[in-house]
Amino acid sequence: MEILVALIPMFAWGSIGLVSGKIGGSANQQTLGMTIGALFFSIIIFFVVQPAITIQMVVIGILSGLFWSVGQNQQFHGMKYLGVSVGLPVSTGMQLIVNTIAGAVFFHEWKGSRDFLLGFIALGLLVLGAYLTARQDDDSGVKTTNSMLDFNKGLRALIFSTIGYGAYTIIINAAGLDPMGIILPQSIGMLIGASFFAFKKVKLDRYVWQNMSCGLLWGLGNICMLLTMRQIGLAISFSLSQMGIIISTLGGIYILGESKSKKEMRYVIIGCLFVILGGILLGYMKA
């Protein structure tokens, strides 16, 4: 049952890049709209569940939310520079390395040589899959719409994104607090961070309000990951959540119209298969 719940973020988070890409707006508008939607979601959860909120939850929640806002904002910038079907797989691979190693080494979630062997094989499959989905066909004469518009800026944005996302999940996992109680302070921290990026830069128009839907998707995925993180660990729960690159990559091609050559499509299919195999292996480890 835990594995099924851990897969919900895959669908929810995997759709965010597609929804935000379809809606449009600047990276700062997308971040601000998404955080407003996440705050709305967390307020509903708070009144339905009515969890106890401590000072520690407020501090940890706001801090993790601030780090998240850095991660999400820079990921949106990375997708602007590289395209959804390239930016998200690269971002996913970088996050998988950081969070899986943190869960296995710092939180001792892997016990014995068997877990480390299977875990690193699964991580290798996931990272290789992410690389293949983003691989470019330099020999193709086809001009693709998602070609590296600015690789250096995109990579730099994704490095900052990985640092923000990594700190967000590691802080939450280390604190070991009630997921239901922490999401409201967390969403407040997210909005504070997003407002900092949006200060004097963002026009509050339809792009901001429509991107609130991304916040609802994120809130659903976040609460499911936080719940399963305590049951199956950071390394497995986060890795399963990132299998959403299958949705974002294929969606970027077929929904957002980011064209691929025939060779690149083969890379995408093989990469998605590697990601699926890596996720299955992680689920087998827990079982």
What is the per-residue DSSP string for the chain? -HHHHHHHHHHHHHTHHHHHHHH---HHHHHHHHHHHHHHHHHHHHHHH-----HHHHHHHHHHHHHHHHHHHHHHHHHHHH-HHHHHHHHHHHHHHHHHHIIIIIS--S-HHHHHHHHHHHHHHHHHHHHHHH---TT--S--TTS-SSHHHHHHHHHHHHHHHHHHHHHHHHHT--HHHHHHHHHHHHHHHHHHHHTTT---SHHHHHTHHHHHHHHHHHHHHHHHHHHH-HHHHHHHHGGGHHHHHHHHHHTS-----HHHHHHHHHHHHHHHHHHHHHHHHH-
Q: 278: buried, middle or exposed (CB in 10 Å: 19+, 13-18, 0-12)?
A: buried
Residue 191 has what pLDDT? 94
Residue 161 CA, distance from chain mean position: 10
Residue 95 has what pLDDT? 84
d(CA 275, CA 281): 10
Average pLDDT over residues 136-157: 67
- For residue 243, pLDDT over 80 is answered with no
- For residue 185, pLDDT over 60 is answered with yes
52 φψ region: left (φ > 0), alpha (ψ -120 to 50), beta (else)? beta
Q: Per mean pLDDT, which range of 7-16, 74-83, 156-165, 256-265 is the poorest?
A: 256-265
Q: What percent of the chain has pLDDT over 70?
A: 93
d(CA 275, CA 271): 6
Q: Do residues 146 and 83 touch, judged by C-beta distance below 8 A?
A: yes
Residue whose token pair is 């509050």 = 204
More confident: 237 or 269 = 269
245 φψ region: left (φ > 0), alpha (ψ -120 to 50), beta (else)? alpha
Average pLDDT over residues 243-257: 82
Q: Per mean pLDDT, which range of 21-25, 104-108, 238-242, 264-268 is the poorest?
A: 238-242
Residue 33 has what pLDDT? 93
What is the per-residue DSSP string for 228-261? HHHHH-HHHHHHHHGGGHHHHHHHHHHTS-----
Residue 255 has what pLDDT? 85
Residue 176 has what pLDDT? 82
Q: Do residues 275 and 130 touch, judged by C-beta distance below 8 A?
A: yes
Residue 89 has what pLDDT? 80
Q: How confident is the model at residue 202 (pLDDT cuts 50, 70, 90)?
A: confident
pLDDT digits (tens, 9 = 90+) for 42-71: 999 999 989 999 999 999 999 999 999 999
Residues 6+ apart with CB under 8 A from 26: 201, 202, 207
Which residue, 131, 26, 133, 31, is CA-closest to 81? Answer: 26
Q: How confident is the model at residue 167 (pLDDT cuts 50, 70, 90)?
A: very high
More confident: 182 or 176 = 182
Q: Read off the pTM.
A: 0.80
Q: What percent of the chain has pLDDT over 90?
A: 28
- For residue 158, pLDDT over 80 is answered with yes
Residue 205 has what pLDDT? 87
Average pLDDT over residues 222-235: 79
